[in-house]
Amino acid sequence: MSRILFVMLHPGFVRYYDDALQALAAAGHDVHVAFEVSRTKLGEDVTARRLAERSPGVTCGSTPERPESVREFLARGDREAIRSGAPLASSPWSREGREEAWESLATTVRLLVDYLRFFDPVFAYAAALRARAEKRVPQVYRRWIRLVARGGAAARTALAGALSAVEYTIPPNRTLEAFVREHNPDLLLVTPLVELGSQQVDYIKCARQLGIRSALCVASWDNLTSKGLIRVIPEHVVVWNEAQKREAVELHGVAPGRVAVTGAQLFDPWFEARPSRSREDFCRTVGLDPGRPFLLYVGSSVFIAPDEVPFADEWLAAVRASADPAVARLGVLIRPHPANARQWQAFDASGFGNVALWPPIGTDPTAPDFRRDYFDSLYYSAGVVGINTSAQIEAGIVGRPVFTVRAPQFAHAQEGTLHFQYLVGGTGLVRAAASLDEHVRQLAEIGGGTSAGAAGGEFVRWFVRPQGIDVPAAPVFARAIEALARLPRPAPRDAAWRWTALRPLAFVLARVARALAEDRPLWVYAIRPFVTAAVRTWALAFRIHEAWHRSVTSGLRRTGRRVYCVWYESSREARKRMRRATRKVAAAIRTAGVAAKRLARRAEGAIGRVVGRQL
């Protein structure tokens, strides 16, 4: 049985591989899932915990902490931040300081490569994706990248090559190496690897160095086209379908023989699911008229639809204004995207009638009923409408007709993304309209039927279950992973001598990258040595002053103590002598008194005798 180490960016990725990991554990493999960062926004940690509880063969944990995560790198360079001053916790020449510098260089190089890729002609319309990548690059590099990118394909290739060379000079992280060695897996899996500036590249590098087979599992349908590059290519890439295989080969330079097509395992439950209640019950629960068919509007993510509510308003108005009474009277169920639900607080359904927003904003997406309710929404709907979301694929699986409107405000997320073309292209399942008028006319064709038709089925077969519409993808995925884990280990590959030789030079770059990652104006770097020198001089002066103050104070205190001591001792002695003298005087007085008394008595006796004699 094999040991598998699966490195995920955060626990949110568990939901993509839930069933497949359980299948692997059930087959007797030891699977350890390690998360780079924790995430609780949508209850992702709960999903991970449940997975570990369900399968004894699966364990979950975290990866070693990095000296500087991508998030910290970006936070340090945030010009808008008020309190982004990074403490100089360690000396730049200490081990920690050196590691921070290497991490800074690695993140910088990866962000630059990711930004550069969006200048490729394939991404000519992807202005929003390019802008998103640009925002993460420190400002000082941006104009240079733009300048080179405008120089044409040759200039871009040369720059990408140079950046790639820098990537190879970066030494593998020792802590990660120890972590991977400790787990000693037969197969190292990573996902998503292509996040902008992703540090998961280091796991692939470590695996190479240790002679461990590695594979990238592509989690979602947009991963290879809307995010960064696979910068260091692992031994294998596991994808959903042929479209993704083409993306991996053409956009990321993966050899076709390294790509395994397994299907979209996360959609398996949708093929098996059955409604949990009757249509009437469902409509009553959500607040729709059970007597009328309804449309399901599925919300999109923040990047796709940052301002979706005004569009939904217009869309609803267009539906209600339809000349076809059957369309105008359709019920409408709005289902916000769980990660983009907040904006729907401003939505007001009261003006339309037979419109409901469900589930309520703030519903826990990890609740057991959440997916069941979602399925019921899809199952009982007459059609599904959305901008660009995987919910449209799910609607296709359930067999509902799916629609979209090409709206100018969402051009960045429709024409501007490659994955949207799969939905609306030749084999796509989504019927796209150029305007709301056309869209409403399309809705009229729903009529009494509620099937996605042949186009939907064909799309699902091609995109979701390429191994056969009746073949669940999770077991295929598990078998593919098992097969990879059984393959003999590759020979350990140390970094080539030329990269090692260039390392001192690269370290200078690393120090520069570390400084520039702060993304400050250049004059700040110019004055920093003087400011630092001034502050340190001040600190030195302060310390000297403190020391002087301390020594003077203590000297005075010592002298004072001595004076007091002398005074105390002498006064004590004086008091003692005084007491003795007093005692002596008192004794003398006492003696004199006694003598005087004695004399007086004698005198009295003598006088008495004289007087007696005379009488």
Partner 1 sequence: MSAKYPRLHVLAASFWREWHRELRRQAGDERLPYQIRVRLRHAADRALRRSAVEEQRGVVPRWNRRALADAAPTRLSADDEQRGRRLAMECGIVPGQPIVTVEIGQRADRLSDAIERLSAEGFRIVRIGNPVAGPLRGRDVLDVASDPRRTPVLDLYLLLTSAFVVCSSAELQQAALIGHTPSLRIDAHDAFTAYPVRRDGIFTLATAVDLDTGRPLAIQELLTERYFRNSRNYGYRATSAAEITAAVGEMVEGVRTGWRESDAQRRFRQAVADAGVAMGHVRHVAEWDGASGFIGDGRLARVQAERAL
Which residues contact partner 1 by CB under 8 A? 82-89, 309-310, 313-314, 317-318, 320-321, 342-343, 345-348, 351, 361, 408-409, 436-437, 520-521, 523-524, 527-528, 531-532, 535-536, 538-539, 542-543, 546
**What gap in Å lies between CA 433 and CA 440, rounded to an integer?**
9
* Least Cβ distance, residue 360 to partner 1 (angstroms): 10
2 vs 409 by CB, closer to partner 1: 409
Q: Which helix (H) or strand (E) holds 259?
A: strand 259-261
Strand partners, 188: 5, 214
Shortest spacing between CB 445 and partner 1, in angstroms: 20
Q: Which of 173, 245, 247, 221 is nearest to 394 (CA)?
A: 221
Residue 531 CA: distances (Å) to CA of 92, 523, 538, 541: 17, 12, 10, 15
Which of 256/360 has CB closer to partner 1?
Answer: 360
Task: Report helix, strand or coil for 320.
Answer: helix
Q: How far is the CB of 353 from partner 1 (least distance, A)?
A: 14
Q: How far is Cα 14 from Cα 319, in angstroms, rounded to an integer? A: 38
Nearer to partner 1, 193 or 341 (CB): 341
Nearest distance from C-beta of residue 159 to partner 1, angstroms: 30
Of the pair 72, 313, the CB lying nearest partner 1 is at 313
Q: Which two tokens stand for residue 188?
A: 């190292």
* Nearer of residues 531 and 588 to partner 1, judged by Cβ: 531
Of 101, 42, 45, give the one whose Cα is nearest residue 512. 101
The least CB distance from residue 342 to partner 1, in Å, is 5
- In the complex with partner 1, the residue whose CB is nearer, 229 or 318, is 318
**Amino acid present at 568:** Y
Closest CB to partner 1 among 89 and 615? 89
- As measured in angstroms, the least distance from the Cβ of 314 to partner 1 is 5
Q: Using DSSP, state whether 68 is helix, strand or coil.
A: coil
| Interatomic CA distance for residues 317 and 311, integer angstroms | 10
State the Cα–Cα distance between residues 192 and 109, nearest whole angstrom: 18
Instruction: Report the alpha-carbon distance of residue 270 to residue 517 in Å, rounded.
Output: 45
Distance CA 240, CA 260 (A): 8
State which residue, 521 or 608, has the beta carbon closest to partner 1.
521
Neighbours of 99 (CB within 10 A): 19
Question: Where are any strands of DSSP class E within 368-419?
Answer: 383-386, 402-405
The neighbour count for residue 521, using CB atoms within 10 Å, is 10
317 vs 487, which CB is nearer to partner 1? 317
Q: How far is the CB of 312 from partner 1 (least distance, A)?
A: 11
Q: Least distance to partner 1 from the beta carbon of 539, Å?
A: 5
Token pair recorded at residue 373: 């309710």
Min dist. Cβ of residue 440 to partner 1 (A): 10
